[in-house]
Amino acid sequence: MLNSTPVTHFVLGAYMDIGLLKYPVFVFLLLWYAAILLSNLLLIAVISQSRSLHEPMFVFMCALFVNEVYGSTAIFPMLLSQILHEAHVITRAACLLQIFCLYSYGGTEFSLLTLMSYDRYLAICCHLQYSSSMTPTKMAALITLCWSYNLIVNLFITYGLTGRLKPCGNVIDKVYCDNYLMVKLSCSDAMVSKIFGSVHFVCYVLGLVGLILYSYARILRVCLRSSKRARQTALSTCVPHLLSFLNFSFGGLFEVMQSRFDMSAVSTPLRVFLSLHWLTVQPLASPVIYGLKMTKIRQAVQELLQVHLTYLALG
């Protein structure tokens, strides 16, 4: 029998009863969120203020750090609030908003990582034409494209497709809202949503992964023909990006698998942790990886901190 009562709230069914442990978990997640904000905002400030970092590679990194702040803010406040409450309930409007924010974050993250791999390809394989290929206007256009495309597409998917469906159930077996699971709860015909979502996801991911593989295949080919010093210089700028890309891909792959396949064989705590990986680990991993691996960023951070410490000492 179909549920005729309009669903206005959803229950997030993956939260476990951990008793008094919820307070240490709350403090840990709060500190983790603070570390994400501080590290990303610090590097955004460093790149913005240091003229030596006003290069395409660092500008794209800055856009990536902005996206990390956006994505983590879409999950942590709600996560912290839900941990302290006994009833893990979220309104339908808030659920749709969270889906839009999380999926636009993921799409933009993937787009920016692809853009950064293309930038490394141009810098290493087409270095003579690099300055003309990556002008400030083109950089701004590419970053705007990454953001606007994902915001518009996910706005259409979330509110134009999923938001119009009438759900029969209200239990989402996760600690945050998920578009695919919400579509599965629908009483009405969701064929258009399923087809569009699947086709767009496959085409989008395959297209971006193909561009990344092509970029690094060309980079590897050039590196194998270059001197040892040139090879080390090229790899020093590519390794941080590869680490960030692989970390995000791992989390994203598990998220897709969990939504579409039976993962009951995996323990609930591990399933919850892995489902949060792409939203909680990636936003902190990116500034740490780039901050530690990129010499110019480390030097700029040290200089900025010294300036502010000197100012505070004199003041």
pLDDT score of 259? 74
Give the residue, 131 or 226, on which the prediction is more confident.
131
Q: Assign 4 a pLDDT band (cuts: 50, 70, 90).
A: low
Tokens of 70: 């956006």
pLDDT score of 143? 96
Q: Assign 1 a pLDDT band (cuts: 50, 70, 90).
A: very low
pLDDT score of 60? 95
pLDDT score of 111? 96
Q: Assign 106 a pLDDT band (cuts: 50, 70, 90).
A: very high
Q: Is the dihedral of CA 165, 169, 174, 176 positive or negative?
A: positive
Give the residue, 157 or 8, on which the prediction is more confident.
157
Tokens of 128: 């003579």
Q: Is the pLDDT of residue 18 over 80?
A: no
Average pLDDT over residues 247-273: 82
Nearest-angstrom CA–CA distance, 30 and 39: 14
Q: Is the pLDDT of residue 75 over 90?
A: yes
Neighbours of 307 (CB within 10 A): 11
Q: Is the dihedral of CA 269, 272, 274, 277 positive or negative?
A: negative
Give the containing element (helix H, strand E) for 273: helix 268-280
Helix (DSSP H) and strand (DSSP E) numbers for the chain: 11, 3
Helix axis angle, 56-84 to 92-125, nearest 10°: 160
The closest alpha carbon to 251, from 154, 106, 114, 118, belongs to 106
pLDDT score of 252? 87
Tokens of 270: 């591990």
Q: How far is CA 136 from the centre of its chain?
A: 24
Nearest-angstrom CA–CA distance, 101 and 240: 26
Q: Is the pLDDT of residue 32 over 80?
A: yes
Hey, what domains does the chain have and what are their CATH numbers?
A: 9-314 (1.20.1070.10)
Mean pLDDT (the chain) is 88
Helix axis angle, 56-84 to 22-49, nearest 10°: 160
Give the residue, 173 or 307, on which the prediction is more confident.
173
pLDDT score of 145? 96
Beta strands in 125-192 (DSSP E): 171-172
Q: Is the pLDDT of residue 2 over 50?
A: no
Nearest-angstrom CA–CA distance, 283 and 274: 14
Q: Is the pLDDT of residue 81 over 50?
A: yes
- The 10s digit of each residue's pLDDT in 262-284 is 777 778 888 888 889 999 999 99
- The 10s digit of each residue's pLDDT in 142-186 is 999 999 999 999 999 999 999 998 888 889 988 999 998 899 888
Q: How far is CA 288 from the centre of its chain?
A: 15
Burial class (CB in 10 A: 0-12, 13-18, 19+), 195: exposed
Q: Is the pLDDT of residue 16 over 90?
A: no
Give the residue, 1 or 132, on which the prediction is more confident.
132
Nearest-angstrom CA–CA distance, 129 and 140: 18
Q: Is the pLDDT of residue 5 over 70?
A: no
- The 10s digit of each residue's pLDDT in 220-246 is 888 888 787 877 877 777 888 889 999
Q: What is the pTM of this model?
A: 0.91
pLDDT score of 308? 67
Give the residue, 7 or 48, on which the prediction is more confident.
48
